[in-house]
Chains A and B, each alone.
Chain A
Amino acid sequence: MALLQIAEPGSSKAPHQHKLAVGIDLGTTNSLVASVKSGQAIPLVDTENNYLLPSIVHYGEMHISTGYTAEKNLLTDPLNTLFSVKRLIGKSFAEVDRTFLPYQLSAHESGTVQIDTRCGEINAVQASSEILKTLIKCAKKNLQGDLDGVVITVPAYFDDAQRQGTKDAARLAGVHVLRLINEPTAAAIAYGLDAAQEGVIAVYDLGGGTFDISILRLHKGVFEVLATGGDTLLGGDDFDVQIAKWIKEKANLVDPLSPKLQQELLKTSRKAKQVLSDQPNVTITLSQDNFSIVLTKIQFESLIAPLVKKTIRACKRAMKDANVALAELVEVVMVGGSIRVPLVKELVAAYFKRELLTSIDPDTVVAIGAAIQADILVGNKPDADMLLLDVLPLSLGLETMGDLVEKVIPRNTTIPVARAQEFTTFKDGQTAMLIHVVQGERELVGDCRSLARFVLTGIPPMAVGAAHIRVTFQVDADGLLNVSALEKSSGVQAHIEVKPSYGLNDNQVIEMLSASHSFAKQDLQARMLIEQQVEVKRVIENLTDALQKDGLQLLEQGEFDAINENMAILEKIGAGDDKQAIKEALKSIDKLTSHYASLRMDVSINKALTGHAVTDI
């Protein structure tokens, strides 16, 4: 029998209608899943009563394992036990720092980095999807049902390729992503709602592999990110590497180190770091040659000081971008496992000139915030008066003549955002054009991250300079970029072929989906059909409701009839199993009703603003 949870007043769902949604913190070192039960967000535990799942995947002889089970193989099977894969997501082979990475890396033909395991070449998206699958299984068991959607957190400073990679991993794991939200923003939700805080806060988030700083204004349920900064390759892992390098030097170990020794060095270093957070020194021993040495806290701090100082510089820049003075901050919230290192707390407190808030559980707060957001997005809390306004973390630009970058959307612009840029042809009769999109703050293309190369085709042949191609860059609420193009004088929609520089293209994802062990091809087909049918149902419900409310007020009789007619057709086609036909029908009704949808928006904007004295908002 299903057990009941307490709902908000008036929002009890009919049986089987309560939506199940969870928040997932997909971390470099640990991951976890949380959900709202009876109005309270809590981490969900597995059968062993653990809520933290080590982000480790073992590709074994017989099966794939994750978490603590996988961790047992770190030393015995280092080549097939993948850890910290989050650092590889959305990265090219050439970009990856291979110091102390015990496994074999190679490049996919697209340039994407992959790991050679006994199960073949595995990329970071696939490995991450294994972690997600475990968390989702745990959530389903806890909540006794299928999930309607998940919110996954990503470092605020993740670029487009890294975000897309995370979304692809969720797709592979077979879950519907409601939204990607930034880790510090999620922490701010959990903290802000709990403490009923108002004013400007800073969230300092130092995890296992990534660092974020976000400055937010909290005002009557609105969480407005003013600026964000960070480093996606800076975290507790790097502290471990610093210690490992030190031991390597002291023990006179020479390259190449065996994978097992590399793994042992890392493991020993991590332990040493943990001991040093409350002891003045630690004795480090290696199995090889009975090596033993003492590392003092002071030595450790001098090893990591440059890294911690780097985070302070990012804080300074974020404060400046936010245009906020130190005195304006009402709280500095510390999040992420690596804030346990005393030097971190010391330097951060010194910069912000205040006591830090370190009392919230740095391991769970991000997942809790994501769970709260998931519960709202899925519609379980209709009168929730909460709004997140997040920003684009890194500027988006285009390659121009001379390898220079022209900024199209500057960093810290509130999303969703769109900017259009006009291009013209430089040859008579030119019908195609190449556009290179980059992300980053530097002026030279080579110093920024290449996101994608777009080929515009289908430009009507004209004299040189006569074609005006308007390319629109749209960043959605997940922080993901979409590009569309239109030739202005002829109104021709130019076709865009996207070639992500390091991410996976659609075909690769579909290939991985069908190759994935958990879905036989038929399952996949069946799932796609079900997804389409859900969409058909959604469209019909939404439209019927809308037409009843204001269809005849806003539409001409002819338009009104046409929509009704098309809806009937869609309903009929939707009942069948012809995926292509359903897709076409959805597309045609989409086109037919988009004008109506815009009209409704405008009407509701007028409604929203009348009868409100702005001062009481």
Chain B
Amino acid sequence: MNYFELFSLPVKYCIVQSELSATYRLLQKQFHPDNFVMRADAQKRVAMQKSTEINDAYQTLKDNCLRAQYILLLQGLDIELDRRTLQDSDFLMQQMRWREDIELFTKDDEDAIDVFSNNIQDHIKALENTIESQLQQESLQATADSIIRLKFMLKLQTELSLIEETLFD
């Protein structure tokens, strides 16, 4: 049973978050290990595995990047295994510049950090839109490249928030 089947959903990038979480709660209400505390060990174990799988599926499906990556996986393209590298030197150069930028931020740059953070957020949104249309056109290789770009951006976003944490806490 793949994650989409588990949640009775068609294999599609487009997803309604509120419906996804409603299905998630319905499934966990039934399969969470708490419902099997007084049962035999075999049932406890199967329930734990099922509940784990439901959690895993939910984490994957609700996250735009992971969901796109999972759709590719179902089509036979495993990005992790592929270890593909991005042949886009402009993008990579831009990444390096951004990284240098965030390392130079100081306590006084609160406004600049906000602008920077919004800029990254816009890039992420744009990439997500690209991924959606690429998946619709079933151009798998192009989608894979976009996913890798998106991963770069998300990592940059995490790093920025770590730096914010150290500067302002």
A593 to B44, CA, bound (A): 13
Structural contact, B47 and A377, CB atoms closer than 8 A: no
Is A378 part of the binding interface, using a Cβ–Cβ cutoff of 8 Å?
A: yes
The answer to whether A387 and B34 touch (CB under 8 A), given A416-B48, A417-B56, is: yes
A387 to B28, CA, bound (A): 8
Structural contact, B56 and A316, CB atoms closer than 8 A: no
Structural contact, B32 and A477, CB atoms closer than 8 A: yes
15 additional A-B residue pairs with CB within 8 Å, beyond A416-B48, A417-B56, A476-B33: A178-B37, A220-B25, A320-B165, A387-B29, A389-B28, A415-B55, A417-B52, A474-B48, A477-B48, A601-B47, A605-B6, A605-B50, A608-B26, A608-B27, A609-B26
Q: Contacts of B22 on A, CB cut-off 8 Å?
A: 614-615, 617
Is A539 part of the binding interface, using a Cβ–Cβ cutoff of 8 Å?
A: yes
Structural contact, B48 and A593, CB atoms closer than 8 A: no
Q: Kindly identify, within residues 46 to 70 of chain B, every residue whose CB is under 8 Å from any CB belonging to chain A.
A: 46-52, 55-56, 58-59
A477 to B25, CA, bound (A): 16
Minimum CB distance partner of B25 in chain A: A222
| Proximity string of chain A (311-337) to chain B, C-beta cutoff 8 Å, 1 when within and 0 when not | 001001100100000000000000000
Minimum CB distance partner of B40 in chain A: A539
Is A388 part of the binding interface, using a Cβ–Cβ cutoff of 8 Å?
A: yes
Minimum CB distance partner of B1 in chain A: A602
Structural contact, A378 and B41, CB atoms closer than 8 A: no
The answer to whether A387 and B25 touch (CB under 8 A), given A320-B161, A539-B42, is: yes
Q: Contacts of B27 on A, CB cut-off 8 Å?
A: 605, 608-609
Q: Contacts of A617 on B, CB cut-off 8 Å?
A: 22-23, 25-26
Minimum CB distance partner of A416 in chain B: B52
Is B118 part of the binding interface, using a Cβ–Cβ cutoff of 8 Å?
A: no
The answer to whether A477 and B29 touch (CB under 8 A), given A378-B38, A416-B48, is: no
10 closest Cβ pairs, A-B complex? A617-B22, A539-B40, A597-B46, A477-B33, A377-B37, A609-B8, A416-B52, A590-B42, A614-B19, A538-B40
Q: Contacts of B48 on A, CB cut-off 8 Å?
A: 416, 474, 476-477
Is A424 part of the binding interface, using a Cβ–Cβ cutoff of 8 Å?
A: no
Nearest CB on B from A333, distance (A): 22
Is B99 part of the binding interface, using a Cβ–Cβ cutoff of 8 Å?
A: no
Structural contact, B161 and A379, CB atoms closer than 8 A: no
A615 to B23, CA, bound (A): 9
Q: Contacts of B165 on A, CB cut-off 8 Å?
A: 317, 320
Q: How many residue-residue contacts, CB under 8 A, span A and B?
A: 118
Structural contact, A387 and B42, CB atoms closer than 8 A: no
Is B139 part of the binding interface, using a Cβ–Cβ cutoff of 8 Å?
A: no
| Proximity string of chain A (596-614) to chain B, C-beta cutoff 8 Å, 1 when within and 0 when not | 0110011011001100101
Minimum CB distance partner of B19 in chain A: A614
Minimum CB distance partner of A589 in chain B: B42
Structural contact, B46 and A594, CB atoms closer than 8 A: yes
A385 to B34, CA, bound (A): 12
Is A167 part of the binding interface, using a Cβ–Cβ cutoff of 8 Å?
A: no
Is A431 part of the binding interface, using a Cβ–Cβ cutoff of 8 Å?
A: no
13 contacts between A and B (CB under 8 A): A222-B29, A377-B38, A378-B38, A387-B25, A416-B33, A477-B32, A535-B40, A538-B40, A586-B41, A601-B31, A605-B30, A608-B30, A617-B23
Q: Contacts of A379 on B, CB cut-off 8 Å?
A: 38
The total of chain A residues at the interface (CB under 8 A) is 50
Residue from A316, A416, A542, A590 within 8 A of B51 (CB atoms): A416
Is B45 part of the binding interface, using a Cβ–Cβ cutoff of 8 Å?
A: yes
Is A414 part of the binding interface, using a Cβ–Cβ cutoff of 8 Å?
A: yes
Structural contact, B41 and A590, CB atoms closer than 8 A: yes
The answer to whether A614 and B29 touch (CB under 8 A), given A149-B37, A538-B39, is: no
Q: Contacts of B37 on A, CB cut-off 8 Å?
A: 149, 178-179, 377-378
The total of chain B residues at the interface (CB under 8 A) is 39
Residue from A320, A385, A476 within 8 A of B29 (CB atoms): A385
Structural contact, B34 and A388, CB atoms closer than 8 A: yes
Minimum CB distance partner of A541 in chain B: B40
Structural contact, B47 and A219, CB atoms closer than 8 A: no
A68 to B6, CA, bound (A): 54
Nearest CB on B from A322, distance (A): 13
Q: Contacts of B34 on A, CB cut-off 8 Å?
A: 179, 376-377, 387-388, 477
A377 to B22, CA, bound (A): 23
| Proximity string of chain B (10-30) to chain A, C-beta cutoff 8 Å, 1 when within and 0 when not | 000000000100110111111
Is A418 part of the binding interface, using a Cβ–Cβ cutoff of 8 Å?
A: yes
Residue from A222, A414, A590 within 8 A of B55 (CB atoms): A414
Is A413 part of the binding interface, using a Cβ–Cβ cutoff of 8 Å?
A: yes
Nearest CB on B from A375, distance (A): 12
Is B169 part of the binding interface, using a Cβ–Cβ cutoff of 8 Å?
A: yes
Nearest CB on A from B114, distance (A): 15
Minimum CB distance partner of B16 in chain A: A614
Minimum CB distance partner of A606 in chain B: B8
A597 to B32, CA, bound (A): 15
Q: Contacts of B41 on A, CB cut-off 8 Å?
A: 535, 539, 586, 590
Nearest CB on B from A574, distance (A): 12
Q: Contacts of A612 on B, CB cut-off 8 Å?
A: 26
| Proximity string of chain A (133-156) to chain B, C-beta cutoff 8 Å, 1 when within and 0 when not | 000000000000000010000000
Q: Kindly identify, within residues 388 to 425 of chain A, every residue whose CB is under 8 Å from any CB belonging to chain B.
A: 388-389, 413-418
Is B129 part of the binding interface, using a Cβ–Cβ cutoff of 8 Å?
A: no
Q: Contacts of B31 on A, CB cut-off 8 Å?
A: 601, 604-605
Residue of B7, B34, B40 contacting most chain A CB atoms (<10 Å) = B40
Q: Contacts of B43 on A, CB cut-off 8 Å?
A: 542, 597
Q: Contacts of B7 on A, CB cut-off 8 Å?
A: 609
| Proximity string of chain A (359-381) to chain B, C-beta cutoff 8 Å, 1 when within and 0 when not | 00000000000000000111100
Minimum CB distance partner of B50 in chain A: A601
